Amino acid sequence: MSHNPPLKDWHGKTVWLVGASSGIGQATAHALHARGARVVVSARNAQALEDFVRGHAGALALPLDASDAAAVNMAAQTVLAQGPLDLLMYCAGYYRELRATEFDLAEMLKHQQVNYTGALYLLDAVLPALLQRGSGHISLVGSVAGYRGLPKSLAYGPTKAALINLAETLHVDLQPSGVGVSIVNPGFVETPLTAQNQFSMPALISPDKAATEILAGWARGEFEIHFPKRFTRWMKTLRVLPYALYFPAIRKFTGL
């Protein structure tokens, strides 16, 4: 059963990806452009966006800081003024390892601003237009790190858990209106964010492979798009373990 209207034909559709200067966002923007979509890309790195536009005819770059509400709203007005928005993807992300023994409030709040609050600014800016039209799709990029508490994920994990819960509630509320909602929960993808990890990352995949999985999930009308399955299914098993089994299992597997 499809949870959302399937998204298969991208020709002439307008898509806006926020956090598209590298990694999953950029790869997904490339894949959508190749399928005929009119792609709008946003991120803080204006040079990377300009490079993308040069290589993708018809694409539009709108540089912004997702944690700046005014900048997000201004960009949204520009996008919506050009016609209906068919897909909004929030893939802006910030990640630093953090453990509770080195609690850092500034890091906690920066993760919240970029990973979660930015998504709220976008929803505030575009949701009224999507509801008025009765169509369109909102896709948030979470992470399997949002399933349960993990070592070194004190700042990052809670923001992704918040996105997962937000997407679930959005879907419940918006499905009757015709607006689709999906949550993308990747495992390890080779991006600038994961490059800083000092540990072995199981089932590491490329951003291009991630983009392929995301477009396939949208085409099937899935609510949760998670990959690679050989890793995410294991994480889903951990998600349902009772705490008496979960905490010892995490300590054993991570050595922390």
Distance (Å, whole) CA 183 – CA 71: 24
DSSP letter for each residue of the chain: --SS------TT-EEEEES-SSHHHHHHHHHHHHTT-EEEEE-S-HHHHHHHHHTSTT-EE----TT-HHHHHHHHHHHHHTS---EEEE-------B-GGG--HHHHHHHIIIIIIHHHHHHHHHHHHHHHHT--EEEEE--GGGTS--TTBTTHHHHHHHHHHHHHHHHHHHGGGT-EEEEEEES-B-STTGGG--S--TT-B-HHHHHHHHHHHHHTT-SEEEE-HHHHHHHHHHHHS-HHHHHHHHHHHH--
Task: Please indicate whether residue 121 is annotated as part of the active site.
Answer: no
Q: Which one of 121, 156, 243, 246 is the catalytic residue?
A: 156
- Gap between the Cα atoms of 159 and 57, Å rounded: 35
Taking the C-alpha atoms of residue 14 and residue 247, their distance in angstroms, rounded to an integer, is: 44
Catalytic residues: 156
